[in-house]
Amino acid sequence: MTLAQRPYNFSAGPATLPEAVLQQAAAEMLDWQGSGMGVMEMSHRGREFMAIAQAAESDLRDLLAVPANFRILFMQGGGLAENAIVPLNLSRGGAVDVVVSGAWSHKSAQEARRYADVAVAASNEADGHTSLPAPASWRLRQGVSYVHLCSNETIHGVEYGALPDLAALGCDAPLVVDCSSHILSRAIDWSRVGLAFAGAQKNIGPAGLTLVIVRDDLLGQALAICPSAFDYKTVADNASMFNTPPTYAIYIAGLVFKWLKAQGGVAAIEACNIAKAELLYHYLDGSGFYQNRVAPEGRSRMNVPFFLRDESLNEAFLAGAGQHRLLQLKGHKSVGGMRASIYNAMPLAGVQSLVDYLKDFALRHG
Ligand SMILES: *Cc1c(COP(=O)(O)O)cnc(C)c1O
């Protein structure tokens, strides 16, 4: 199948996928590699799908340099389910500290309160989630079961470049990281992490798959009320096949991992992500017509919320974007304005095309 060039899609999630991946999935839809079956039609315990799942797991382990003492789990329920599944598994009925850096970590704190004694260690709510709560300012309690951080706030566009070293802050609890919207966009320092989770639909593949990467000493502590299918130890002991995993989403994720390797891996895609983000922020900051309100040190490379200084032009801006084949730029309803999500699968040419449109629109309306 040959397609005219597809529009550039800036959706925050479910988000754009590499075209090569979609083409391969289309070609294999009816018959995966001569098996006579499409991937959706295979038993998850059959030889074919087991090979697909194992390749996906080992490619992910390579890409993110996941150490041998971490288990990779393919789960379901998305980031929001993990907000409950994490405390069910790791809180041990005790205390949990949460850093609130945007809407998603705010939700994580709310949900964890159902299972644990939760305190907010730091919050940027007062400035509308536009700053980065610096680790040195966090008020961490002694003896907490874990500390929760959202390392990239998808709605507010706030990102931690480096993960905090909790030990250096005098805290020996494991760090739990919600990295849903920037996983695989940069390296992860596993020496600082106890557990990382990510819904797949931002930077990996289809909705329905949730990745959990967990240090093995944290397994086996789930509360008695934790559903068996959400007990990390049960999932790990059954190689993510305690119940039927989201097989097609795992297959697509596996194709994305192969695509990433072909791009040169995480270091290469990170360099591309830096170039894309610099191009866009540099233009926005210099324009006088548009504005990003996040403090420079906290700006996300993946999600770029921005505002037209004259918001009465919002509708015209979005209509014109559609005509220029630039899709899904409307900001989250809680923030307003616009948002460009520029995940791994967005090429530099897509961001260039957006900047060209931004310039053109500003010229015509400035
Ligand atoms: C999208 C997102 C979530 C929620 O994911 P669901 O799959 O809708 O549950 C959680 N955290 C972050 C950082 C996200 O970007």
Report whether residue 104 contacts ligand 1, using a CB cutoff of 6 Å.
yes
Do 186 and 139 belong to one domain? Answer: yes
- In 200-337, beta strands by DSSP E: 210-215, 290-291, 303-308, 326-327
Report whether residue 199 contacts ligand 1, using a CB cutoff of 6 Å.
yes
* Contacts with 286 (C-beta within 8 Å, 6 or more apart), sequence order: none
Of 262, 292, 319, the position where a domain reaches its end is: 262
Do 209 and 60 belong to one domain? Answer: yes
**Cα–Cα nearest to 115, from 98, 135, 140, 138:** 98
Is residue 16 in a domain?
no
Best residue for ligand 1 mutational test, from 82, 100, 105, 181 (most atoms within 8 Å of Cβ): 181
Report whether residue 76 contacts ligand 1, using a CB cutoff of 6 Å.
no
Do 170 and 39 belong to one domain? Answer: yes
* pLDDT score of 4: 75
Of 238, 262, 286, the position where a domain reaches its end is: 262
Is residue 13 in a domain?
no
* Rounded-to-integer distance, Cα 293 and Cα 352, Å: 21
Q: Determine which residue's CA is closest to atom 5 belonging to ligand 1.
A: 79
Predicted confidence pLDDT, tens digits, the chain (366 residues)? 455 789 999 999 999 999 999 999 999 999 999 999 999 999 999 999 999 999 999 999 999 999 999 999 999 999 999 999 999 999 999 999 999 999 999 999 999 999 999 999 999 999 999 999 999 999 999 999 999 999 999 999 999 999 999 999 999 999 999 999 999 999 999 999 999 999 999 999 999 999 999 999 999 999 999 999 999 999 999 999 999 999 999 999 999 999 999 999 999 999 999 999 999 999 999 999 999 999 999 999 999 999 999 999 999 999 999 999 999 999 999 999 999 999 999 999 999 999 999 999 999 998
Best residue for ligand 1 mutational test, from 99, 104, 301 (most atoms within 8 Å of Cβ): 104
Active site residues: 104, 178, 202
Do 166 and 301 belong to one domain? Answer: no
Report whether residue 12 contacts ligand 1, using a CB cutoff of 6 Å.
no
* pLDDT score of 3: 59
Q: What is the CATH number of the domain that holds 75?
A: 3.40.640.10
Three-state DSSP class for residue 161: coil
> How many domains does the chain contain in total?
2
The one-letter amino acid at 213: I
Is residue 3 in a domain?
no
Of 262, 289, 312, the position where a domain reaches its end is: 262
CA of 283 to the centre of ligand 1 (A): 28
* Rounded-to-integer distance, Cα 24 and Cα 328, Å: 25
Do 56 and 103 belong to one domain? Answer: yes
3-state helix, strand, coil split of the chain in percent (to 5) is 40, 15, 40
* pLDDT score of 366: 84
How far is residue 185 from each of residues 59, 206, 241, measured CA to CA in Å?
15, 17, 27
* Rounded-to-integer distance, Cα 278 and Cα 301, Å: 8
Do 272 and 358 belong to one domain? Answer: yes
Structural domain that includes position 326? 265-365
* pLDDT score of 2: 53
Is residue 334 in a domain?
yes
Do 157 and 207 belong to one domain? Answer: yes
CA of 3 to the centre of ligand 1 (A): 31
Q: What is the CATH number of the domain that holds 305?
A: 3.90.1150.10
CA atoms within 13 A on the CB side of 263: 25
